[in-house]
Amino acid sequence: MGYGRVWRYYGDGITNDPKIKNISQVLNYFDIPAFMHIGFGKKFKVDLNIGPYFGFKIKDEIVSYSPNEEQLDSEATRGVIGLSKFDNFDFGVVYGIGFDYQIHERFSIGFDALYERGLKTVNKINNVDYKNSSFDFDFGINFHLGKKKK
C-alpha cells in the first residue's frame, strides 16, 4: 500500500484576477498495488514487479493567497480559475525493479523503484485528459512466514 502526494505550483499565471496570488494544488491518493513480485537469486535477489494498482483520493485542495497574504477559500479559488475536482477513484498499472538482500533465513531488506501509470482519466481540463503517474521508491524489511523452501 502506498500514499501519493502531488503538489502543483501555478504561481500567478493561471488567472488574471489580481485578488488571487500564489496558487498551488495538493492532490493526495492512497494506492493499493496488487503486483507480482518475481525474484531471481538466492542471498541477493533482483526482483521484477508488475501488476495493477487502485487509488482512492484523500485530498484535493487549492491553496491560494490574497495580495495581503491571507489564505483564500479553496472552493472559491477553484471556481475563479476553472479547475474542477479530480475523481475519487483511480486505477492503473505499476511496474519496476527491486533488490532484496537476505540477512537471515526469516527476513531480508529490500529496495524497489516503481513507476505507476494511471489508465483512468481523473480530470479533463480544456479538452486535455489528466491521468495520474508517479515514481515510487520503497525501502523495507521483508519477514518470511511459513516453512522455508528446500
Q: Where are the domains of the chain?
A: 2-143
Which helix (DSSP H) or strand (DSSP E) does residue 74 occupy? helix 74-81
Per-residue pLDDT reduced to its tens digit, 27-81: 888 888 898 988 899 899 999 999 999 999 998 888 888 788 888 888 877 777 7
Long-range contact set of residues 75-78: C-beta below 8 Å, sequence gap at least 24: 77/20, 77/23
Instruction: Return the C-alpha cell found at 13.
Output: 499565471
115's CB contacts (< 8 A; 6+ apart) are 94, 95, 96, 133, 134, 135, 136
Q: Using pLDDT thresholds of 50, 70 and 90, give the confidence band for residue 13.
A: low
Q: Do residues 21 and 66 make contact, with C-beta atoms less than 8 angstroms apart?
A: yes
pLDDT higher at 141 or 125: 141
Would you call 45 helix, strand, or coil by DSSP? strand
pLDDT higher at 22 or 136: 136
Which pLDDT value is given to residue 86? 85
Burial class (CB in 10 A: 0-12, 13-18, 19+), 115: middle
Which pLDDT value is given to residue 110? 92
pLDDT at 119 over 90: yes
pTM of the model: 0.72
